[in-house]
Chain A
Amino acid sequence: MGFKIIGSSVNRLDAVSKVTGKAKYTNDFFEREMLCGKVLRSPYAHAVIKAIDVSEAKALPGVIAVFTSQDLPKLKYATAGHPWSIDPKHRDIEDRMILTDKARYVGDSVAAVVAQDEIIAKEALKLIKVDYEVLPHVLDPEKALEKGAPIIHEERPNNIVNDFGNEYGDYEKDFMNAQHIMEGVYDTSIVQHCHIETQTAYAYIDTDDRIVIVSSTQIPHIARRVVGQALGLSWGKIRVIKPHIGGGFGNKQEVIIEPLVAAMTIFSHGLPVRYTMTREECFISSRTRHAIKFSLKTALTKDNKLQAIHVLGISNTGSYASHGHSIIMSATSKFRPLYNFKSFKIEPKTVYTNLPAAGAMRAYGVPQMIFALESHIDDICRKLDLDPIEFRKQNLVSVGHEDPISHVVVRSIGLSECIDKGKELIKWEQKRANYKEQTGDKRRGLGMACFSYFSGTHPVSLEVAGARIILNQDGSVQLQVGATEIGQGADTAFAQMVAEVLGISIDMVHVISTQDTDITPFDTGAYASRQTYITGAAVKKAALEVKNKILTIASRKIGLQIDALDINDATIIEKKLGKEICSLGEIAMEAFYDRTHSHPITSDTSVNIRTNAIAYGVTFVEVEVDMKTGVIEVIEIYNVHDSGTIINHKAALGQVHGGVSMGLGYALSEKLMFDEKTGRPLNNNLLDYKLQTIMDTPKIGVDFVETYEETGSFGQKSLGENPTISPAPAVRNAVLDATGVSFNKLPLNPQTVFEKFKTEGLL
């Protein structure tokens, strides 16, 4: 589209500050007499707290405060980072208090301590005496649904958080008339975000009697609201500041510790209190990814067209609803603009168990769904002896496809081209032919998997975004947005957008990266891969407004119409002749200092986006399976994405690399494990939880098919979460190709693979 700065690989704006150690994260700020907060956590998966004696803990020298649920307002609130809904029917489930009076998982927050330092705070925790009445617990969601299962929340005695689904078309008839009906069950495990900076925040009460919270959050404006709700305080009494953050991946799209740290300062006479989760706490007491078991049934016509799908899903949300049913609803909505099903019936259930609460994690339920669907598609092709690529291509939706429930319209789709590119990159035909009929100890195979994903949350949630631009005297600008930079590179992308519209260089755009709810324009934050698409629209709107104001002054000065003018290289030009008229700085100076017309140029605007843009992509992978040990090695992997216009290629590559790596961990090694008998976590640390290291990560190939999405402010669609979605089913399908064995549960770690080979008689 003839962009100058959009699409170029400018370096991240915050790169220098990060590589010099100068970038300040939450724990890099110090206040005099900063106190330390700690939490007493339940050792039982399910227990009523009959009594708590905190007297000895309180008496320990250096302890400032000890408090329990008894000392807090009896307010239940929801922690999910969704925009508030004025309609009560559309709100998140309010099932949690800052500290609990009943332990629902091992690690539940029972009491809090504030002390002079960490050592004293830890000592104080040991002095708190809790009388627990231990209850039977349940970890398996299917068992939680059985009659007589332990009741986790009194308000929902059947342990079902929610079970509404969707239905469209003549589903019964399509199954009756089907040529083939295929069925499969696909299951995933609990994994964790593992951002390197754990959840951390500190809070104090300022001299205006307001609670100031500095937090590692993706959603400062939502955090402010939830703290108000959790403590029964007026929302304006709370100020949330978000500095640099050390990764989030959805785990900081939830208000987990801010209400607690606010309570800590309230109980400490407003002194500053810091609470940082240990890594072990972070694994179990922040959030995890939902394990979801999908049972799929599909109907095919005689010419092998996918006709109907029945999706039964059980989502294990653990001890609290958190994002609750939204996760499986996202999963079962976002796959629909992929294949052209004429009818569907979706029956999802989100179920409480006595496990850590699951929440938002990169791609929000979709990796679970696409693992099921794309594994199922390969199972179908294998059974019917169809080419998995051709079969997919024949069933893809096309431009104009409208989802019958969400009414989201596909306006651009480059998936077929993505598939062609991936196929070529991995040399599909040649290698598939070579790898037929292998019998050795090491067998190779190829697999692929496609996905569709949304850009933002419309039409489920509000999509409001704010942007503010201030023109300086030299023609440079400040940009402020409410959406947060969390490492994904959003600020750099926004700066490119401003520079593009205003005809200035990137170094003339100063992005104020810190969000402060007192100052920052309203925006709901970083999630749902929404920023470049949603906030990007606000940024463009603000930049256009500033441009228009600049050209209005230029027009007044020169006499030419606004339409005849433009800005290029920070110079006002006559568009048609390309003739330079004056510098942007001169116009800015007039805007500031003209004795008659002075009116400094700013823009403070917002957008409410009511479209969505469907992004697509594919993973192609080659694996080598060691038949004797069950070790799977990824030989080659390529992700090809249709995310519309790529704003910054270098940053986009980084997003894809990181997402694929996370997807490979999901496929091959990561699993948070619990002891069935006690509900205790078995590997909530970075040694035993098998996060991918540089040794485990293969070279990741990346390519893009740049469609132009008309609803994107620069033709862009989502990218941030997308790369995480399809690696796991692609790996699974490659293992199927190599060995003939269908693995229908993640991860495919050596033990699982070895055991399965044994039961299949391969060993």
Chain B
Amino acid sequence: MNEMKKINLIVNDKTYQLEVDIRESLLDVLRNRLHFTGVKEGCSVGECGACTVLIDGVPTSSCIYLAVFADGKKIRTIEGLEKDGKLSKVQQNFIDEGAIQCGFCTPGIVMTTTALVESGNKFTDEEIKREISGHFCRCTGYQKIFDAVKKSLDDK
């Protein structure tokens, strides 16, 4: 039952060699082993979106993704967005638009937005909403989150 497996995780361009319990989620390994605590846990069952990270560019709920599945894959977390001490445009837009309140859902939504921006695709307002609909936010009523996402997509 208590089976361990060696894996390589590439998190924000840095490789970590780890031995993980095959039952451990990627979320638990990122948070508890590697201390990427910007990855938040809101429900543990893939409902709320707070734990979203990018796995090979795809927004993924890390709470329902086993760590062993991530072996060799490129993972990006909120901690990897700042470059040379400068916030990414998406991060700055979330601040300037007032899209942050308690901040617990913020990292997940910023990661999904980052993936949308990097996809190079165009999105209608309805499509933006659909893309963000996997994230719950109880503070903002999504108004400023929508504005920040839209601004990030327009900014390119």
Interface residues of A (CB under 8 A from B): 9, 11-12, 14-25, 27-28, 30, 119, 193-198, 244-247, 249, 278-279, 486-489, 650-651, 653-654, 657-662, 685-687, 691-695, 697, 699-700
Contacts and interface: CB of A to CB of B under 8 A. Distances in A.
Top 8 A-B pairs ranked by shortest CB distance?
A: A21-B38, A487-B102, A246-B104, A661-B141, A18-B103, A657-B141, A21-B78, A28-B37
Secondary structure at the B interface, as helix, strand, loop or mixed, is loop
Interface string B92-110: 0011101011111111001
Nearest to A659: B141
Contact of A694 (B43, B110, B132): B132
Contact of A14 (B37, B103, B137): B103
A566 to B, nearest CB: 32
B78 A279 contact: no
Contacts of B50: 196
Contacts of A693: 133, 136, 142
Contacts of A660: 141
A16 B107 CA distance: 11
A19 B100 contact: yes
Nearest to B103: A18
B118 interface: no
Contacts of A246: 40, 42, 102-104
B95 A686 contact: no
A486 B140 CA distance: 13
A686 B47 contact: yes
Interface in B55-107: 77-79, 81-82, 87, 91, 94-96, 98, 100-107
Main secondary structure of the interface of A (DSSP, over half): loop
Contacts of B26: none
B153 interface: no
Contact of B143 (A20, A21, A30, A700): A700
A20 B138 contact: no
A195 B48 CA distance: 11
B44 interface: yes
A662 B101 CA distance: 15
B42 to A, nearest CB: 4
A657 B91 contact: no
A219 to B, nearest CB: 16
In this complex, the member of A18, A249, A695 whose beta carbon has the largest number of chain B beta carbons within 10 angstroms is A18
B44 A19 contact: no
B107 A15 contact: no
Contacts of A30: 32, 35
Contact of A249 (B47, B138, B145): B138
B67 to A, nearest CB: 14
Contacts of A28: 37
Measured as residues with beta carbon below 8 angstroms from the partner, the interface class of chain B is 35 or more
Contacts of B6: none
Given A25-B104, A30-B35, A654-B98, A198 B129 contact: no
Given A14-B100, A20-B82, 6 more contacts: A9-B98, A19-B95, A28-B37, A30-B35, A657-B142, A693-B136
Interface in B128-156: 129-130, 132-133, 135-146
Given A11-B95, A699-B143, A20 B78 contact: yes
Given A279-B47, A654-B139, A661-B141, A21 B36 contact: yes
B39 interface: yes
Interface string B17-28: 000000100000
B103 to A, nearest CB: 3
B4 interface: no
A196 B48 contact: yes
A244 B129 CA distance: 28
B139 A658 contact: yes
Contacts, number: 166
A489 B99 CA distance: 12
B87 A197 contact: no
B136 A691 contact: yes
A469 B155 CA distance: 41
B23 A119 contact: yes
Given A246-B40, A686-B136, A489 B101 contact: yes
Contacts of B133: 693-695
Contacts of B100: 12, 14-15, 18-19
A691 B137 CA distance: 9
Contacts of B107: 19, 21
Given A21-B38, A686-B47, A694 B142 contact: yes
Contacts of B146: 694
B103 A279 contact: no
B98 to A, nearest CB: 4
Given A19-B95, A196-B40, A657-B141, A687 B47 contact: yes
A488 B98 CA distance: 12
Nearest to A22: B38
A298 to B, nearest CB: 33
Nearest to B141: A661
A19 B97 CA distance: 12
B98 A23 contact: no
B141 to A, nearest CB: 3
A658 B101 contact: yes
A28 B35 CA distance: 8
B87 A16 contact: yes
Given A30-B35, A247-B102, A686-B48, A700 B141 contact: yes
A694 B98 contact: no
Given A15-B95, A653-B98, A686-B48, A196 B143 contact: no
Contact of B104 (A12, A14, A197, A695): A197
B97 to A, nearest CB: 9
B83 to A, nearest CB: 12
Contact of A685 (B47, B106, B144): B47
A196 B100 CA distance: 13
B48 A21 contact: no
Nearest to A18: B103
Nearest to A662: B138
30 contacts: A14-B100, A19-B103, A21-B36, A21-B78, A21-B107, A25-B40, A28-B37, A193-B138, A194-B138, A195-B102, A196-B42, A196-B104, A197-B40, A244-B103, A246-B40, A246-B102, A246-B103, A247-B101, A247-B102, A487-B102, A654-B140, A654-B144, A657-B142, A659-B141, A685-B45, A687-B47, A691-B136, A693-B136, A694-B142, A700-B141
A245 B37 contact: no
Given A20-B82, A21-B36, A691 B138 contact: yes
Contacts of A687: 47
Given A14-B103, A19-B110, A687-B47, A196 B138 contact: yes
B105 A196 contact: yes
Nearest to A25: B104
Nearest to A244: B103
A119 B24 CA distance: 10
A278 B42 CA distance: 8
Contacts of B141: 657-662, 692, 697, 700
B103 A695 contact: no
Contacts of B45: 279, 685
B56 to A, nearest CB: 20
Contacts of B47: 279, 685-687
A725 to B, nearest CB: 15
Contact of B103 (A23, A194, A651, A657): A23
B135 A694 contact: yes
B143 A657 contact: yes
Contacts of A489: 101
A260 B95 CA distance: 37
Contact of B101 (A22, A487, A691): A487
Chain A CB within 10 Å — which of B42, B78, B81, B144 has the most? B42
A250 to B, nearest CB: 12
Nearest to B80: A21
Contact of B102 (A245, A650, A659): A245
B42 A653 contact: no
A742 B95 CA distance: 43
A650 B88 CA distance: 21
